[in-house]
Amino acid sequence: MKNYHIKGITNYEAICDKCGAALKQAIILASMDLNGNPQGHLSYFGADCAAQLTRLSQSTLRSRARAAEEVRQAEEHTARVLEARRKLVEQREREWLQDTYGVEDMDAAAKKSGKEWLTVFNEFFAWLDQADRA
Ligand SMILES: [Zn+2]
């Protein structure tokens, strides 16, 4: 029998992957590989089908799914914040390179200045550090 990780619970309608029933809310499960790691693919199930698959009672399953959903949403939020920060750093890098070396990227700045790529890289992050502290 396959084992599943409980990944969360939806607040939108879905179709049960096991029995095809239309659901107002679905339990999100990820099947495990042979080493017990969750696989990337997520499946959606009604509470009764998910309870059968996980061999848990519906109430245990629901409370675990709600807890997992909180973690999932927190992780998604963190990923969005990190992505936004990464884009901001990239934008500031381009602006700094333009202001400092009159070029668009670090390779061009290194070539133009005759410095090592790593030197330019460190200059930028030193500047960014200063700018963030100011
Ligand atoms: Zn079902």
Same domain for 67 and 120, yes or no, is no
Same domain for 70 and 14, yes or no, is yes
Same domain for 40 and 87, yes or no, is no
- Would you say residue 18 has pLDDT above 70? yes
Same domain for 20 and 61, yes or no, is yes
Same domain for 96 and 42, yes or no, is no
Measured in angstroms, how far is the CA atom of residue 55 from the centroid of ligand 1?
14
Chain segment 54-97, per-residue pLDDT in tens? 999 999 999 999 999 999 999 999 999 999 999 999 999 999 99
Number of domains in the chain: 2
The predicted pLDDT at position 54 comes to 94
3-state secondary structure of 21: coil
Chain segment 100-115, per-residue pLDDT in tens? 999 999 999 999 999 9
Mean pLDDT of the chain: 93
The predicted pLDDT at position 3 comes to 84
3-state secondary structure of 50: helix
Q: How far apart are CA 105 and CA 118, in angstroms?
A: 13
Same domain for 36 and 54, yes or no, is yes
The predicted pLDDT at position 35 comes to 80
Measured in angstroms, how far is the CA atom of residue 44 from the centroid of ligand 1?
9
pTM: 0.66
Give residue 8's identity as a one-letter amino acid code.
Answer: G
The whole domain housing 67 covers 4-79
Measured in angstroms, how far is the CA atom of residue 112 from the centroid of ligand 1?
63
Chain segment 41-57, per-residue pLDDT in tens? 889 999 999 999 999 99
Q: Which two tokens stand for residue 23?
A: 């659901």
Q: Which of 33, 63, 79 is the last residue of a domain?
A: 79
What residues have a C-beta under 5 A from ligand 1, the ion?
16, 18-19, 21, 46, 49
